[in-house]
Each structure stands twice: as C-alpha cells, then as structure tokens.
Structure 1
C-alpha cells in the first residue's frame, strides 16, 4: 500500500464522507496522517471511488489501487486514463453498480473515462435530472460534487478565501461561470493533510473543502476532463 496514495485518496474522499454522502461513518479518521492503514481499510468501503481505482490499477498493470498515480488519475487525471478502454469500463461498472439507474453511463461505451467527472456527470442522476426538469438544485449539487480548481487569495485560521469559477446554467448549458470568491475549509479541529496554504497556491476543491495544492498542469488536466464531460452533457440536451 502506498502511503502517498492513501493520503491523496483521503484528501479528496473526506469532504463527502464528512457530509455523510459516501463511505463509512467516522470521517475524521481520514485526516490522520499517521493512519494510512485505517485509510486504506476505509477506502475499500467507498463503493464508487474504489471501483474506479481497482479498474484503473488493473488497466495500468498496478497491483495496488492506492498507488499514488492511480489515485491521482481518478480524482485529478493523468496518463493512466489513456489505458482505460471505455467499453470495458462500462461493462465493469454494470457489474459493480448493478441496479443503479439514474444517469447516462449505461450507454457510454464509446466515451466512458475512469475519472471522477464521469461519475459526477454520467453515473450520478443529477445531470440527467437537470436536463429533464431544469431543477436548479441539480446545478448546486453538480457544482459542489465535482472536483474544481481555484487559487488561494488569503488564509484565516482553518478557512481560506479562494477564487474559482462556479458551474452555472447558461442558456440551458452547464458551463464554468465568471470568477467568484468563496470561503472554504482546509483544516478541521487542527487536523489536516495539507502542510499549509499560501496566497497564490493553486488548489483543488471538493464540496466546501480544499483537497490539495496542485500544479498548473494538474489544473489544466482536471479542467480538460470536466470540459469533456460537459460537452457530452450539452450534446444530450
């Protein structure tokens, strides 16, 4: 088991787990930098994310689904995604997510990608619901559930002010909107997996939490994966 991979998984999995949306109870355990064995045990209980990690690892020839490169491929994106055959991924997910309807993933054999953006916009039902009903609540969920990028403006204790582009509905099409400032958290009760934050840092965010400090190249890859998915969503209007 890779320590960097386990910690990377925890950085991104903690926010929805803390909110009770996925994973086992006791989300605080994911913020223990010395608890990699417990993080690894808990990672297997995230039905969605763990399925993708297993598939990416298999496609890339890695024995460990918590290999750092595998984890980064799913949450952010890297070259390992190029080794995934879309039709094989959909067949695999049909087994793992048997009985789950809602999204558009069942007919995604030509476009599926083992990335969190695919799970958000095609496996979850929210994008399809938005298309059917126009319910603005769906936009809010998609905005928070996706992994988005931002830049730290300033830091105040366990929160930070970050500039980012929210997901908006413009003329019936989901698209990143104008830059706005939002207040987000990066530490809880003194527990964090980040060494600190500095104004100007490029960061990734999940729900109302800063997950990691990333490079410009990683931001570009993440944004490209999302734009790809938004293009498919728009094409299905």
Structure 2
C-alpha cells in the first residue's frame, strides 16, 4: 500500500480515479477486473492526491480498468453515444456508476446492438430476456447490469438460495446512505437495503452499517463528515454524493427494479454471466 500521506484528496478527481473508487471493491474480492487488485488500489490512491492524477497512475489505471470485462463495454457504449473518445471521461464514469442525464442520450438501438454483440452467442435461448429488458427501458447503468444481466435475480425464486442472492444483489448494486460517524478507516452509515417478499424486489427498513473508506489511513476518497451522502459498493464507501446525485442513483435503481419486477426476471436467470 502507498504511504499514509496519500490519504488527502480534493474533488473533482479524474475519471480513472473515480472508476477505481467504484471498481476496486468487487475487484478486491476477485469477482472482476485485474488479478493484481493491490496495484489497482495503489494507482487509485496515488492518482487521488490533490485531485490531479500523475502520468504513471493514469497509465496504470487505464490499463487495469480495461480488464473489467463487465463494465468496460458499457463505458465504451456511453462514451460513443456522447461523442467522446475516452471511456474513462469523468462524465462517462459518473453516468455508469451513479447515473446522470447523459444516459438519456444512449438510444435503445445502441443498447440493443451492444447487448447483441456481447451476449447473443453466450446466452443462446436466454437472449430474448435481455432484449426485453432493453425494450422496457434498460440503460447502461450499473443497476441494469446487476438486476437485468447477472443471474442473481433469477436465484431469488429458489428458496434455498434466495437469502444469499438478495445479499449479493444488495452488495453488488451501488447503494447510497447518510454518514452518521467516522472512525478512522471506517464509516458508520444509515442506508436502505433491498427487500424480497417472495414476488417483488424493493426496499426494506433503514439500517445502520459500517463500511471501509481507507486502509491504514490510505484512501481514494475525500474526507467524510457526519451528514454527508455517500455511495457504497460491497463493504466500501466509494464517493461523496450531492443531493442531485443521490436522486439520480435512486431513480436509475428504481427504474431497473421495476423492469425486473414487471418482467418477472426473477423467475429465471437473465443470463448466466459472471459478475
């Protein structure tokens, strides 16, 4: 890990650093991305210094980020739809993980063509389910991948696996919460988990959870204070959010939950793809 002096950062950070903030948590579990998650974290922490990414950190982050086989094509799709050359442009990264108005510029045809190219041969007879989710309004937001593409929604109807599937869905989505207290490397947050009543995915009662923001004082994050809104992925805090960003994140999450529920995607895996 880099020196603790790297912990201080100022917003806005670069697109590659912002991507690392969100992508590192699942990468640290070995679910996706490069095998060397320590280097990914180190480049992200180095690049977060003072809000300016060094040339070395930028090169490292860009190389490692392209190894996220699930997220990278979505970034390319968003960037192309916006007329941008860089899939790691901050506006693109924010659109994918949190959501913003730029997602409205990604046409259903573009999303459908991307799904066709990526998944038709992999999913076979299950592909029409993916097409239905696009026709129902699915856009290249991380919640679309979590709820409409990954197989976990289909496992909710399996009584033996439902509890585990719900936990994975809740941790894998980008969720939001309000900071209650900060204790060293950890943050106590009030958040709203997913719920499953046997037929419908929704939101449960508010809970208090503890998430990580740094390792031995080293972080890709800004400092947090009580009352801040924060995004979370798995057991990590990812970024400080504005009220507007919270609304976007909530709205896109609800949008894709509605597609899942209305289309009964939890009656069978959408696609047996790895996370």
**Normalising to structure 1: TM-score of the pair?**
0.93
Q: Which residue of 2 aligns with 1:10?
A: 20
Question: Is 2:31 the counterpart of 1:21?
Answer: yes
More relative contact order, 1 or 2 (CA 8 Å, 6+ apart) = 2
Q: Which residue of 2 aligns with 1:201?
A: 228
Distance 1:227 1:88, change over 3 A: same
**Which stretches in structure 1 are left out of the alignment for 5+ residues?**
none
Q: Which residue of 1 aligns with 2:110?
A: 88
Assess if the C-alpha contact under 8 Å between 1:202 and 1:216 holds in 2. yes
Q: Which residue of 1 aligns with 2:150?
A: 124
- Runs of 4+ residues deviating >3 angstroms: 97-104, 131-134
> Secondary structure of 2:134's partner?
coil
**Normalising to structure 2: TM-score of the pair?**
0.81
Assess if the C-alpha contact under 8 Å between 1:127 and 1:142 holds in 2. yes
Residues matched between the structures, number: 236
Deviation at 1:170, TM superposition (A): 2.8
Assess if the C-alpha contact under 8 Å between 2:232 and 2:239 holds in 1. yes
Assess if the C-alpha contact under 8 Å between 1:59 and 1:83 holds in 2. yes
Assess if the C-alpha contact under 8 Å between 2:222 and 2:240 holds in 1. no
Pair member with larger Rg: 2
- The structure 1 residue matched to 2:62, chosen from 8, 26, 40, is 40
Q: Which residue of 1 aligns with 2:53?
A: none
Deviation at 1:132, TM superposition (A): 5.5
Q: Which residue of 1 aligns with 2:140?
A: 114
> Secondary structure of 1:183's partner?
strand
Structure 2 CA distance for aligned equivalents of residues 13 and 130 of structure 1: 25
Assess if the C-alpha contact under 8 Å between 1:87 and 1:112 holds in 2. no
RMSD across aligned positions (CA)? 1.9
